[in-house]
Structures are given as C-alpha cells and as structure tokens.
C-alpha cells in the first residue's frame, strides 16, 4: 500500500484532492469510532482488493467511487488502497474499518458486514462524490478506527406503492438511501384496495383491471363532501422491474420482503376476480382511502388462486419472508356468507376472528411448503395463531409484546413512533398528511424493546421499521419529504440502539449531513431551525419559552404583533404571560432570518395557569403537554391531534378537576375534541361539568366535523369545576379500528 505523507496534503492542487474537512458525519453513529489527525489520499486510480466472499462489497465501493477492483493476491495487481478481508471473529453485520497511512482496511466475517462498511466509507468521502457530475477525483480520507455492529438485526423501511405508484428509478433511489443509513430490509407493500402492483401472468386481470382505478380522492379523507380528480390512475411493476429492484437491493445487503395484503385490503383483487369474494358482491378498485368490506372468501378456489399467485411471485424474491398483510380485515361479509359460516361450524371455530386465523394458517402452511415464513400485521394474532408467523406490531406495541411472550418473533412499527405519513411539524403550511404528529425527536427516541419483557422475550423483538403509507404522497418528492429526516433518526435508533448519542448531538450531525442529502437530491423536510415553544407553569407566574432543535441559535421575538427584526429582543429567559399575547419569533444568523416565522397566540381566561388534575393520565404516546396543556391558553393544532396541546386517552373516560384558586364567577366552559375516525379518534359521547354545590350540566356531543367545539353553560360562583368526559367506546366492526376502543383527544378548557 502507498502511504501519503501529511505535508503533501497541503499540496492539494498538485494532487487535485479536496482540502481536509472537519470530522466526518457518521449517521447512524458508529458504536466505536476514533478519528485521527491525518489523512490518507484516496487517489483516482486507487485499487480496491477483496478476499473471497467479499467481492460484492468491493464492487459496490468501486461503483460509488469509480475505482477499479480486483481479487486479493492477483499477481499483477498494483499496490492497493482498500483491502476487504475476512475476519471470522466478526459475525453478521459486524465490521471493522481502519484508515491509516497504509490505506483502508475493512474486516468482516460476512459480505453483509463489509457492505455496511462500504456505506461508512461513503460517509467519509466528500459529499460531492454523491453527485452524478462528480469526477470522483482524489479524496482525503480521515485516519479513523471504527468497530461497528447493529443493535437490531431487522432494520426496515416500508413503502406503499398501491395508494400511489412510484417508478423503478425512485424505488432504487429509496433503497440506496436506505443502504446509506444501514437499513437492511425493504418492505414493499405491493397490493391494496387502490391497486395491485405486480405483474401476474396466470391471472392477468389482476393487472388489466386490478392495477388501475377510475380516479382518486382529492383533499383529505375526512373532507365533506368528498371530491375526486376524474383521472384514471394506475400501473404495475413487470417481473423484470421487480428483479431489477431485488438485485439492486441485494447488491447493497438489503432483503426485499414483498407484501401481498390478504384477506382484507383486497378490493383490487376482487374487482378483477369477484369469484374469490363471498357471493354476490361486486367491488371496484378503490378510489378513496380508508378500509373496505372487500375480503377474500376462504373457499378452496381462493386458496388455489393464492397458491398460483405465490408460485409466480416467490421466484422473484429470495427473501426468507413473505408479508401476507392480515390487517384491517372487515368481517361483515364473512358474517353473512353461508360458505364462511359453514367453515366456522365444520372447523369448530368460535367466530370470524378464528376464521381469519384459519385463513392465515392455511396461507402460512402453503408458504411453509414453498420454503417461506410469513410476516403479518398484528391482527393475525387475533383468533390464535401458530408460532410460524412473525408479527409486525403497528397498532401499538401490544401485539409485539404478546408475540414475544408466546415465543414468536416480532418487528415493532407502532404508529406513534414509526408512521412517517404523520405530520412532522406543527406548522400549518405543511403538505396535507393523514393526521397525527410524529416529530423527529420522538422517532429518535424510539426503542423497539418495550418495558416488561425479560431477556428471552426481548430476543424475539427482531427490530423496528418505518412505514411510508402514500395516500397523501403522490410523487417521489412527497415521499422523500415525509421520510427524511425521520428515517435518519430511525436508522440511529435501530443501528446504534442504546449506544446512540443524545438528540442534540444527532441534530448537530444532521445539520451537517444535509449537505450529503443535497448532493443526493433528496427533498428532505428541514425543520431544524423551526422554533418551538413551551408553556411553563413552574415559574413564579405563567411564562413561555422558545427553543430550536439546533443548539446555540439566536431567537428574536416580539409580543406586539410585529414581525421580529435583527433589533428585536433576543430570547434569553422565559417570557411572562399576563394577558392575551401573540409571540412572534425568528432565528437570526448574522442579522439574517434563517427560520420560518413562529407565531403563537396565548389567550388568557379564568382557568389560565390554574391547577388541573386529570384522571386517568393521558396515554403515554399523547401526553407530552401534560395536564397543564388544558389550561395554558394555547389551542391544539387544527390538523395534528398528536401535538403537545391535545391530550389523548385510549378508551378511558376522563375525569378532570380544575381548581380556580378562589371562588370565581363562571359563565361557560368551552373546549374542543378531535374527531378523525380513520385514525380511530372519535369525539366523546358526552361532557358534563359540575360547579360547587350545583348539579352537573351534561351535554351530548354532535360528531360531524374533524374539530368538535362544545360550550357548556355554567352560570355559577365556584372555586372548583369537575369535568367528566364519556368516550365513544368501542369502534364498530365495519369501521377502521373496528373492535378497538376509540381515542379521545381533548383541547384547552376555556373558562369564561
């Protein structure tokens, strides 16, 4: 190997190399990394050599860097700059990467370890290498010593290509970005009510009929009346497309798991082949979102159909797993179908849930006989199931916990941490999304291992996955906006695990990583300079504080309604709130505003900043504002029930006690409830409010809009108000979330 003395580095012009850069940005953070002072010159003609078994890793690095590769010990090879060597002491994806004056040494026990090292190498190279126009000239690689391995063996990203369809070129870009972040599973959601997206020869109507819909909903699913665009929409991947993607992923050490979502989410299948439905139903490829009654009837011809479909699909996917969906299967038709009811009797099943288990078991056996294991959404646990399945826990972590306790494997993808179709910012100007609120920090804090599992049970939690459902994402750019940067935060939660850095450290690296995302032409969301506020009731009087995710920023603010300038007050200490106040703020760098305008109205009222007790506690996923969020003068977002101003309760009735501090003349209590039924959120049945010595005033709640405002007349002198909220209860079976308790979300309690 050739060494490259330090003094020559200053002669960069001579060598055409980059000037030495600050510490490299490594995401996900390596478990152990020691960075040296010096640099190795990775010259344009540098040779990459590899030992037996590591050729794919060398080829990939060769491809990223435009440098030649050769097997090690090829007698004609010149001195090498990079050596991929087998080290049998390193298992799985474990790798060691050392750069010193002799060059780059990569050691691993398997090609997958070497492939992860290639991605770390990529992070050590200048960002410019990522651009198509780069000549990938000589580059200075920092001396470094890394020993690295993942916390979790399953690190997945999902993409829904049914609701919207994305070209192969984009799917490959997505997979390459996954590889960069050391994800190792691509979950390809290929079928759903809104379109079947994989070529099938034996049942060609799946494509000619099932891959196309007449039109698509415009706006949000909750908007009334619904509007449609009137434009036919569709497409599917040919078998060659699929093979191209699978090979592209394989070359990066990424397994592709196809999902064929059955027995529900099957409108597109049944539009093409109504004969696999319970009798007399006709379905069309869905043009709107949500869930549908369409469900496969578990009759012999349906299983023959599935057998034939899998025989066509499986040769395309070397993965050990096939995802068979199983989520949100509405049982209404099974209840009414003589065939289904006869099957329930014949097999001594208790109900339609056990019939779903029967269906899934038959598919699991079918796939087992073809050498595959199944993954299913956590609904497949309902009605009992064999230990052959791996559970993907999405409706919370409970499904994964139940699976692990039963000795089954599980992958954690709870909506509250892993659904990247949820809003990521509280800004009203964000692109339309399904709802919810999942900010970057919450993703970063995700731990796939829930509390309460012992060591053996925890070993069944294989890892986690980010899900990108695309109802509201109709272009690659829209997908990138929702996936980035949250997918980067998730990569660190899954790769670095308990050894991850703190969020501030992550954000500071992310700020510098943006340059690489720019080079890769990723349309990421950029909320790092976004100003956030927090209400304080621990100070001597109610006050409000401002901050950004990035440390050390200069935030200037006003309270007189004007837009802040470089001369406005800098935020240094909490702002006292004594009357109705509008705080406006901007981040300034050298007198130039670099953030969007932050604006927060605070409306004081008789309950403002008073003592409030809530029972039971809000659900841990939706409690960030704490009880004080009910009386801090700040309304929740009109679109994001997951923000810190809404408090969420899952299935519980809620009792609230408000102490006004002294006897007060109260006329009304007003509040708002969120009502977004597609996400299982329902305005409650009733609210009652009781003043001291008075009978409670009970109001029944009308549930018409997404935001439901109630105004309860009180007209009493009282110190205490006792508020009881009776939730919606169980969601009916035929609706999304059927059979589960509804969520209740409560906003500010305004006392006047």
Distance in Å, CB of 334 to Zn ion, minimum = 6
Rg (CA), the chain: 28
Residues numbered 310-329 forming contacts with ligand ACM, rule: CB under 6 A: 327-328
Of 265 and 460, the one with the shorter C-beta distance to ligand ACM is 265
Half-sphere exposure (CA, 13 Å, Cβ side) for 186?
Answer: 29
What, of ligand ACM, Zn ion, none, does residue 328 touch, CB below 5 to 8 Å by kind? Answer: ligand ACM
Catalytic, 192? Answer yes
Of 215 and 327, the one with the shorter C-beta distance to ligand ACM is 327
Distance in Å, CB of 469 to ligand ACM, minimum = 6
Are residues 40 and 100 in contact, defined by beta-carbon separation less than 8 angstroms? yes
Q: Which residue has the tokens 């980059």?
A: 18
Residue 652 found at the interface with ligand ACM (CB under 6 A): no
Distance in Å, CB of 466 to ligand ACM, minimum = 12
Distance in Å, CB of 391 to Zn ion, minimum = 25
Q: Which residue has the tokens 């699991």?
A: 364
The Cβ of residue 579 has, within 10 Å, a number of other Cβ atoms equal to: 10
Residue 472 found at the interface with ligand ACM (CB under 6 A): no
Kindly state the number of chain residues that form the binding site for ligand ACM, as judged by CB under 6 A: 4
Q: How far apart, in Å, are the Cα atoms of 237 and each of 29, 169, 171, 211, 725?
A: 35, 12, 11, 10, 50
Please report which helix (H) or strand (E) contains residue 213, including its range.
strand 212-213
Residues numbered 72-131 forming contacts with ligand ACM, rule: CB under 6 A: none
Out of 93, 130, 328, 530, pick the active-site residue: 328
Of 383 and 414, the one with the shorter C-beta distance to Zn ion is 383
Distance in Å, CB of 322 to ligand ACM, minimum = 16
Within its chain, how far is the Cα of 21 from the centroid? 32
Of 283 and 328, the one with the shorter C-beta distance to ligand ACM is 328
Of 353 and 446, the one with the shorter C-beta distance to Zn ion is 353
Contact letters for ligand ACM, residues 684-723 (x by CB under 6 A) = ----------------------------------------
Question: Which pair of structure tokens corresponds to residue 12?
Answer: 């960069």
Distance in Å, CB of 637 to ligand ACM, minimum = 22
Distance in Å, CB of 297 to Zn ion, minimum = 3
What, of Zn ion, ligand ACM, none, does residue 555 touch, CB below 5 to 8 Å by kind? Answer: none
CA angle 18, 24, 26 (to 5 degrees): 140
Of 234 and 326, the one with the shorter C-beta distance to Zn ion is 326
Residue nearest to ligand ACM (CB): 327
Rounded Cα distance between 156 and 257, Å, is 10
Question: What angle, rounded to 10 degrees, do the helices at 168-180 and 476-483 form?
Answer: 20
The Cβ of residue 31 has, within 10 Å, a number of other Cβ atoms equal to: 17
* Local structure of residue 475 (DSSP, 8 states): S
Out of 189, 265, 527, 619, pick the active-site residue: 265
Of 415 and 496, the one with the shorter C-beta distance to ligand ACM is 415
| Cis amide bond preceding 223, omega within 30 | no
Catalytic, 164? Answer no
Are residues 434 and 469 in contact, defined by beta-carbon separation less than 8 angstroms? yes
* Local structure of residue 226 (DSSP, 8 states): -
Q: How far apart, in Å, are the Cα atoms of 209 and each of 160, 292, 295, 527?
A: 19, 18, 17, 42
Interface residue with ligand ACM among 394, 423, 506, 608 (CB under 6 A) is: 394
Residue 377 found at the interface with ligand ACM (CB under 6 A): yes
What, of Zn ion, ligand ACM, none, does residue 377 touch, CB below 5 to 8 Å by kind? Answer: ligand ACM
What, of ligand ACM, Zn ion, none, does residue 327 touch, CB below 5 to 8 Å by kind? Answer: ligand ACM
Residue 191, burial from CB neighbour count under 10 angstroms (0-12, 13-18, 19+): buried
Q: What distance, in Å, lies between the first and last C-alpha atoms of the chain?
A: 79
Rounded Cα distance between 702 and 544, Å, is 34
What, of Zn ion, ligand ACM, none, does residue 339 touch, CB below 5 to 8 Å by kind? Answer: Zn ion
Out of 192, 199, 747, 748, pick the active-site residue: 192
Q: Which residue has the tokens 């890793």?
A: 57
What, of Zn ion, ligand ACM, none, does residue 557 touch, CB below 5 to 8 Å by kind? Answer: none
Reduced 3-state DSSP string for 377-410: EHHHHCCCCCCCCEEEECCCCHHHHHHHHCCCCE
Distance in Å, CB of 445 to ligand ACM, minimum = 21
Of 376 and 607, the one with the shorter C-beta distance to ligand ACM is 376
User: Nearest-CA neighbor of 543 among 567, 570, 577, 498?
Assistant: 577
The site for Zn ion (CB under 5 A) is made up of 278, 297, 337, 339-340
Look at residue 649 and give its three-state secondary structure.
strand
What, of Zn ion, ligand ACM, none, does residue 58 touch, CB below 5 to 8 Å by kind? Answer: none
| Contact positions vs ligand ACM (CB under 6 A) | 327-328, 377, 394
Would you name the residues annotated as active-site residues? 192, 265, 328
């Amino acid at each position: 190997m050739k060494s490259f003395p330090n003094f020559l580095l200053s002669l960069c012009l001579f060598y055409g190399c980059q000037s030495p850069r600050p510490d490299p940005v490594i995401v996900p953070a390596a478990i152990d990394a020691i960075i040296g002072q010096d640099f190795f010159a990775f010259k344009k003609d540098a040779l990459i050599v590899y030992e037996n078994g590591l050729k794919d890793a060398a080829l990939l690095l060769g491809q990223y860097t435009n440098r030649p590769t050769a097997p090690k010990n090829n007698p004609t090879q010149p001195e090498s700059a990079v050596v991929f060597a087998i080290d049998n002491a390193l298992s799985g994806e474990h790798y060691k990467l050392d750069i010193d004056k002799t060059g780059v040494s990569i050691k691993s026990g398997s090609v997958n370890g070497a492939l992860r090292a290639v991605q770390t190498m990529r992070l050590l190279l200048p960002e410019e290498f990522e651009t198509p126009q780069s000549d990938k000239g000589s580059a200075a690689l920092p001396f470094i010593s890394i020993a690295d391995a993942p916390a979790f063996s399953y690190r997945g990203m999902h993409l829904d290509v049914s609701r919207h369809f994305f070209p192969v070129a984009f799917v490959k870009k997505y997979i390459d970005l996954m590889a960069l972040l050391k994800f190792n599973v691509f979950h390809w959601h290929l079928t759903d009510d809104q379109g079947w997206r994989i070529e099938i020869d034996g049942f060609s109507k799946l494509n000619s009929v099932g891959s196309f819909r007449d039109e698509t909903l415009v706006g949000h699913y909750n908007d009334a009346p619904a509007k449609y665009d009137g434009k036919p929409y569709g497409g599917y991947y040919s078998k060659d497309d699929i093979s191209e993607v699978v090979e592209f992923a394989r070359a990066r050490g990424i397994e592709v798991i196809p999902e064929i979502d059955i027995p529900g989410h099957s409108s597109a299948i049944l539009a093409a082949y109504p004969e696999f439905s319970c009798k007399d139903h006709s379905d069309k490829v869905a043009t709107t979102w949500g869930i549908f009654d369409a469900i496969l009837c578990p009759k012999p011809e349906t299983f023959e159909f599935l057998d034939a479909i899998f025989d066509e699909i499986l040769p395309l996917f070397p993965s050990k797993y096939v995802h068979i969906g199983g989520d949100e299967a509405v049982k209404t038709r099974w209840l009414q179908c003589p065939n289904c009811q006869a099957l329930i009797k014949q097999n001594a099943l208790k109900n339609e849930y056990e019939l779903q288990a029967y269906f899934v078991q038959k598919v699991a056996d079918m796939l087992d006989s073809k050498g595959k294991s199944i993954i299913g959404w956590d609904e497949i646990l309902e009605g009992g199931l064999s230990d052959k399945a791996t559970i993907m826990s999405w409706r919370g972590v409970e499904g994964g916990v139940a699976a692990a306790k039963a000795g089954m494997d599980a992958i954690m993808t709870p909506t509250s941490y892993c659904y990247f179709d949820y809003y990521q910012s509280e800004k009203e100007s964000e692109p339309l999304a399904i709802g919810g609120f999942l900010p970057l920090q919450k993703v970063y804090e995700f731990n796939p291992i829930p509390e309460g599992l012992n060591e053996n049970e925890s070993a069944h939690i294989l890892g986690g996955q980010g899900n990108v459902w695309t109802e509201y994402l109709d272009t690659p750019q829209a997908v990138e906006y929702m996936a980035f940067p949250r997918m980067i935060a998730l990569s660190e939660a899954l790769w670095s695990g308990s050894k991850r850095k703190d969020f501030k450290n992550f954000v500071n690296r992310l700020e510098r990583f943006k340059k690489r995302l720019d080079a890769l032409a990723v349309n990421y969301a950029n909320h790092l300079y976004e100003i956030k506020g927090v209400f304080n009731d621990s100070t001597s009087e109610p006050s409000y504080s401002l901050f950004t995710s990035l440390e050390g920023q200069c935030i200037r603010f006003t309270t007189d309604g004007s837009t802040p300038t470089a001369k406005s007050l800098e935020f240094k200490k909490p702002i006292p709130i004594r009357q109705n106040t509008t705080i406006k703020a901007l981040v300034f760098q050298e007198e130039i505003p670099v953030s969007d305008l932050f604006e927060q109205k605070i409306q004081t009222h008789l309950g403002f900043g008073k003592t409030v007790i809530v029972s039971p506690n809000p659900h841990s996923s939706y409690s960030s504002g704490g009880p004080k969020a009910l009386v801090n003068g700040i309304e929740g977002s009109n679109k994001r029930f997951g923000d810190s101003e809404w408090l969420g309760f899952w299935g519980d009735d809620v009792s609230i006690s408000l102490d006004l501090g002294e006897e007060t003349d109260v006329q009304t209590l007003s509040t708002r409830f969120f009502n977004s039924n597609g996400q299982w959120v329902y305005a409650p049945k009733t609210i009652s409010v009781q003043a001291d010595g008075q009978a409670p005033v009970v109001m029944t709640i009308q549930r018409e809009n997404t935001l439901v405002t109630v105004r309860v007349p009180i007209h009493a002198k009282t110190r205490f108000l006792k508020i009881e909220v009776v939730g919606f209860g169980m969601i009916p079976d035929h609706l999304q979330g059927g059979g589960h308790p509804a969520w209740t979300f409560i906003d500010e309690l305004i006392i006047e």
